[in-house]
Amino acid sequence: MLYHLCRKPSDGVIIPLLKSLTGKRILEVGIGSGYYTRYVMNGNKVCGIDQNPHLCQLPIKVYKGDAARLNEAIGEKNFDVVMSMWMTEYLNHEQLQTFLCQSRQMLSGGGMLLTTIIADKGMGILYVTAAKKLRHIAKYCYNISVVEKMTRQAGFNSVEIKTLNARLGLSWAYLVSAQI
């Protein structure tokens, strides 16, 4: 239901962008089963990190680790792209800021961060509220200007934020593309 209502329309924006990446060294944070990895695996060098690395059965290296402690799990720091889809909703404000800073540190010059962040409006609020009330899972949504400020504070100079809409045009998340 959530997939069809929210994620599928967002994929119309995210997947073409991922398919356009070639020849990049990519770190995927919160890789899960590798749903989005499939779109970047061919033609790029990809590795992942997740608190639950066993979820990913793809033939790539997946580190076990925390998004807010990337530097402890991953030795190399010369990625062209750090991407993270539908993971930041598990991060509170402090963890999100740390994740953004750590992503910046993982990138080489000209590198890019691509991440989704749940919006504090429309379906975004409904989604985090339902997670708390019905499933007792703490999820977080953010204001667009706060996201921009945090991304710049992490050391990114060029920050582009696209609103991702759910069905019926209800906003629910952002796609942040940020470059050093």
Ligand X SMILES: C[S@@+](CC[C@H](N)C(=O)[O-])C[C@H]1O[C@@H](n2cnc3c(N)ncnc32)[C@H](O)[C@@H]1O
36 in Cβ contact with 50 (< 8 Å): no
* Residue 85 CB, nearest approach to ligand X (Å): 4
Beta strand extents in 119-157 (DSSP E only): none
Strand-pair partners of 47: 27
Residue 175 contacts ligand X per CB under 6 A = no
Residue 52 contacts ligand X per CB under 6 A = yes
Residue 36 contacts ligand X per CB under 6 A = yes
Residue 70 contacts ligand X per CB under 6 A = no
Of 99, 98, 103, 176, which Cα lies nearest the Cα of 143?
176
How far apart are alpha carbons 30 and 120 in whole angstroms? 21
Strand-pair partners of 176: 115, 161
Applying CB under 6 A, the span of 31-39, 106-114, 135-143, 151-159 interacting with ligand X comes to 31-39
> H/E element holding 81?
strand 79-84
Of 72-131, binders to ligand X (CB under 6 A) are 85-87, 90
Binding ligand X (rule: CB under 6 A), the pick from 13, 55, 130, 144 is: 55
Residues at the contact surface with ligand X, assessed by CB under 6 A: 30-32, 35-36, 50-52, 55, 66-67, 85-87, 90
